[in-house]
Structure 1
Amino acid sequence: MPRTSAVEAPDGSQRRATFQRARSHETKRALVQAAMALWRTNGYAKTTVADICRAAGVSRALFYFYFPAKEDVLFEVGLLSTRAARKTIHQHLSGDYDVDAVIASALRSLERSMARNPRDLIVETILEGYRQEQRILAGERAADPDADMFGELFARAKADGKLADSIDTDHLSRLAQMHVSEGVRHWALSGFGDRSFAEVVARDIAALIAGFNHGAK
């Protein structure tokens, strides 16, 4: 009588791990969305961790599992904007591209996102980003790769001959990001007058890139 081969059961532990990761992502997103909704209506300073937990329907213990403090939610909001800009950049790299045009497109997308939020909240987000950067430089926390808006673009541009071979693209990316952060802060404080954030900052970064390319010759 022929022996039947055993059929291996699906890996239940792997399915559980996938489910837990998805659930964890949803919980974190719910906390961020609840915080943003409260900040838009009540302001950042008047919103407490307890308020955010009630709005998201989670316990304070679960909040602190994801975020050490309210300020870390604010930093996550900034990262979400950076991720969206990176996604815009990545989409442009699927075909022929112009570096300055890609940056301008990403900054226009970022400006549309900023326009949906109170300007004082935008300033708080930038200031928290600076505080987090100080902690990173002090070795108190690891750098988040999602905070690098231009890394992929500049690395690709260098490989494609659009940036000089001798250019340190990591350094260029950090400088360009500084222009973005300061540009966001000035825009939120009405420092650009009638000019758009994307117009001013895209021009500044284009000049920065041109200077790097010229200096490398």
Structure 2
Amino acid sequence: MYQLMRRLLTVLFGNRNGEWTIENINLGTDVLRWPVNGWKPTVRNVKIYEYSQVKLNAVHSIIGVSVSLTSLKMSFLILDPKITYHPLFKTSQHLIVSSIPWRYLSNLFSIQTHKVSLTIRSPYFVVENLIDTWIEKRRPIGVCFSLPTNSKEDLARISHPEVLQRSTDCIKLKMGDEAVIVFRYTEANRKTYLTIETIPKTK
């Protein structure tokens, strides 16, 4: 059976000599078999379900990296800071996290993806702690996180030495000489989000 599957996959996907695109790949707990030879496909969207190093390595080995992933979706039971530098995160435009223990949220801030969205709500974020973590991680200009939440904190009451501007739903803070961090509550589809973004400092 293994040899039959191997031959079938080689016929379908192996030894291709032209460019080809896969819109979606969903990886559950099944074994992923892929031909070694042939052109690597350009993949748009990958859903890994529960994170594992093996899955990340497997996806990275079979896809073409000349075009970045449009989205990478997964859940985490644990988030080791070491894996946040995996090449697949760097080549993904948008990381969608469907589940993560909240104690690992600060580790998520080290992920090398410019746009990160969580789909699970937190009952409450301590924004001052998030500010300190974001500044500590030195997230570069263009990085944006979206965190759904069940409640809102009055951002106008936050006292921080780097504050530039603040209101009830938005606070801007200086980060170095070139960047500004923006924490803002937004509404979309009847849900409340805390968005965090690093933007260029205006001259």
TM-score (norm 2): 0.26
Q: Which structure is richer in relative contact order (CA contacts within 8 A, separation 6 or more)?
A: 1
Q: Flag the structure with larger Rg.
A: 1
Structure number with the higher strand fraction is 2
TM-score (norm 1): 0.25
Structure number with the higher helix fraction is 1
